[in-house]
């Protein structure tokens, strides 16, 4: 059996026996269009990173028991090949629970819908489903492990489990499931490392498995908590939060770049390894954002997370029961807008270009607008919008005169006198 490429020293990592510091950035392949994977990976390398990190969403890769989807947006082997070609290492986080502000934390609905099932525990039905999933997922990934010349140098067990439970036997089952299926790479766990609740770090850890922390501030305190928990070995922040996710309808969370840079400098000055969360956010296609997260997964990150992919590009039929939904289809390849529709006029002497494209005028009009057209003179669906021409002034609807019952303007209207009570009649 090949030996792990990444090993531990008293205070750091060794890659093939040489000192190595992990400088990683989170890049979720399933939130990024496949045509953009190579571009984002190159940007990661140009930023100075030597590693990228990604979760693996169980509910997308296995939409039904006994199946495995590795096509299009879910072609994880291809993503790993591109990372390797770019000279990047990979931290793989297969869950089974991934959190990630993702629908169900990646747990498939066909499993969680079972009455009485206890997810993330030793429940035999849950562990049997996990084992069956790993039986299908891991063989295609085996050639991409670093021990066999691939880019994957470490694999995570569960995800921040200490914030959920303390079933050490469950974690041990997961670690054993990875080992017995040929994963020889370094295993690690991650949990919140803060002084207010050290029990989370203990509950989510496993003997013989590297413990890492997740935090975005109070770096020195968090590293002290991590070192007190684990007396030797490398210090690593598996999620260094440079921002925060958004809930639907709420303002976008923004962290000062200076503040994030100062905290990162403190972390690196301590000799710790790091995974920047996120390096590139991306898009929650379809209904994958869960109940209340925004479709754009865009914590403030080093490169722009703006994408031309429509958030609805992979949306499935709303009438389809959520438990029966298949994985979102790969959205069409991003394209630049047509120059004919994006042309900027040099001056005001131009025609209405939309007037030349009647199809773009076919916009459904609400009933309220139809009512206004019929009774108040507003433009309705039957009104033809003429293109603007040079020298033509915009047509303005004349303001109707306000006539009261007596025929003169203002007669009988209810007005407010200066200093008077509402509704007093004008003299």
For residue 167, the domain's CATH number is 3.20.20.80
Mean pLDDT, rounded, for 128-145: 99
Distance in angstroms (rounded) separating the CA atoms of residues 308 and 369: 31
The pair of structure tokens assigned to 232 is 């030797």
Answer yes or no: is pLDDT of 154 > 50: yes
**Helix, coil or strand: residue 324:** helix
Q: SS3 helix, strand, coil % of the chain, rounded to 5?
A: 30, 15, 55
**Least confident interval from 97-101, 224-228, 320-324, 336-340:** 320-324
171: pLDDT confidence band, cut at 50, 70 and 90? very high
255: pLDDT confidence band, cut at 50, 70 and 90? confident
Q: How many domains does the chain have?
A: 1
The pair of structure tokens assigned to 165 is 């439970």
Distance in angstroms (rounded) separating the CA atoms of residues 130 and 124: 10
Q: Contact, 288 vs 102, CB < 8 A?
A: yes
Answer yes or no: is pLDDT of 349 > 70: no
Answer yes or no: is pLDDT of 186 > 70: yes
Q: Which of 19-23, 244-248, 394-398, 407-411 has the highest mean pLDDT?
A: 19-23
Q: Contact, 219 vs 270, CB < 8 A?
A: yes
126: pLDDT confidence band, cut at 50, 70 and 90? very high
300: pLDDT confidence band, cut at 50, 70 and 90? low
Distance in angstroms (rounded) separating the CA atoms of residues 256 and 34: 30
Range of the domain at 129: 6-10+21-309
Where is pLDDT greater, at 45 or 194? 45
Answer yes or no: is pLDDT of 201 > 90: yes
User: CB count, 10 Å around CB of 243?
Assistant: 18
The pair of structure tokens assigned to 365 is 């009009």
- So which residues are the catalytic ones? 160, 239
204: pLDDT confidence band, cut at 50, 70 and 90? very high
The predicted model scores a pTM of 0.72
Where is pLDDT greater, at 253 or 10? 10
pLDDT at 294: 75
Q: Contact, 41 vs 28, CB < 8 A?
A: no
Q: Is 378 part of a structural domain of the chain?
A: no
pLDDT at 251: 81
222: pLDDT confidence band, cut at 50, 70 and 90? very high
Report CA-CA distances (Å) from 206 to 92, 275, 372, 420: 18, 21, 68, 77
357: pLDDT confidence band, cut at 50, 70 and 90? very low
Answer yes or no: is pLDDT of 307 > 60: no
Render pLDDT for 63-97 as a digit per residue (tens, 0 to 9). 999 999 999 999 999 999 999 999 999 999 999 99
Q: Is 176 part of a structural domain of the chain?
A: yes
Q: Is 270 part of a structural domain of the chain?
A: yes
Mean pLDDT, rounded, for 100-124: 97
381: pLDDT confidence band, cut at 50, 70 and 90? very low
Answer yes or no: is pLDDT of 314 > 70: no
Q: Is 329 part of a structural domain of the chain?
A: no
pLDDT at 68: 99
Where is pLDDT greater, at 349 or 285? 285
331: pLDDT confidence band, cut at 50, 70 and 90? low
Q: Is 414 part of a structural domain of the chain?
A: no
Q: What percent of the chain has pLDDT over 90?
A: 60
Q: Is 341 part of a structural domain of the chain?
A: no
**Max alpha carbon distance in the chain (Å)?**
101
Answer yes or no: is pLDDT of 115 > 80: yes
Q: Is 348 part of a structural domain of the chain?
A: no
Distance in angstroms (rounded) separating the CA atoms of residues 364 and 422: 40
Q: Is 89 part of a structural domain of the chain?
A: yes
pLDDT at 1: 62
Mean pLDDT, rounded, for 97-101: 95
Q: Contact, 3 vs 147, CB < 8 A?
A: yes
Distance in angstroms (rounded) separating the CA atoms of residues 206 and 175: 9
Answer yes or no: is pLDDT of 13 > 70: yes
Distance in angstroms (rounded) separating the CA atoms of residues 78 and 143: 12
Answer yes or no: is pLDDT of 191 > 60: yes
35: pLDDT confidence band, cut at 50, 70 and 90? very high
pLDDT at 328: 56
């Amino acid at each position: 059996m090949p030996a792990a490429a990444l090993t531990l020293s008293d205070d750091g990592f060794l890659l093939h026996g040489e000192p190595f510091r992990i400088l990683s950035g989170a890049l979720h392949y399933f939130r990024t269009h496949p045509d953009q994977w190579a571009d984002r990976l190159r940007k990661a390398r140009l930023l100075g990173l030597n590693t990228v990190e990604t979760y693996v969403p169980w509910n997308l890769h296995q939409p039904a028991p006994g199946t495995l989807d590795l096509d299009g947006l879910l072609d994880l082997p291809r993503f790993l090949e591109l990372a390797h070609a770019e000279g990047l290492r990979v931290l793989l986080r297969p869950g089974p629970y991934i959190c990630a502000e993702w629908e169900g934390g990646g747990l498939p609905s066909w499993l969680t819908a079972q009455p009485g099932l206890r997810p993330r525990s030793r429940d035999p039905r849950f562990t049997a489903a996990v084992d069956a999933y790993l039986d299908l997922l891991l063989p295609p990934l085996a050639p991409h492990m670093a021990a066999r010349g691939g880019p994957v140098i470490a694999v995570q067990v569960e995800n921040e489990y200490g914030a959920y439970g303390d079933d050490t036997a469950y974690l041990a089952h997961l670690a054993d499931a990875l080992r017995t299926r040929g994963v020889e790479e370094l295993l690690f766990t991650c949990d919140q490392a803060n002084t207010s609740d050290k029990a989370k770090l203990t509950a989510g850890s496993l003997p013989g498995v590297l413990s890492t922390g997740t935090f975005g501030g109070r770096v020195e305190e968090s590293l002290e908590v991590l070192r007190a928990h684990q007396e030797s070995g490398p210090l690593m922040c598996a999620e260094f939060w440079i921002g925060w996710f958004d809930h639907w309808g709420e303002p976008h969370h923004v962290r000062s770049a200076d503040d994030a840079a100062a905290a990162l400098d403190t972390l690196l000055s301590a000799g710790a390894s790091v995974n920047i969360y996120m390096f590139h956010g991306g898009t929650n296609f379809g209904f994958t954002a869960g109940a209340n997260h925004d479709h754009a997964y865009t914590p403030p990150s080093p490169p722009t997370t703006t994408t031309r992919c429509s958030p609805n590009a992979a949306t499935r039929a709303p009438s389809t029961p959520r438990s029966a939904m298949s994985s979102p289809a790969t959205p069409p390849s991003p394209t630049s807008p047509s120059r004919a529709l994006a042309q900027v006029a040099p001056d005001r002497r131009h025609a209405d270009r939309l007037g030349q494209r009647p199809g773009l005028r076919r916009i459904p009009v609400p009933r309220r607008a139809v009512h206004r057209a019929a009774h108040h003179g507003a433009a309705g669906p039957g009104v033809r919008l003429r293109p603007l021409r040079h020298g033509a002034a915009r047509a303005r609807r004349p303001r109707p005169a306000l006539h009261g019952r007596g025929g003169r303007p203002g007669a009988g209207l209810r007005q407010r006198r200066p200093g008077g009570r509402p509704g007093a009649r004008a003299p």
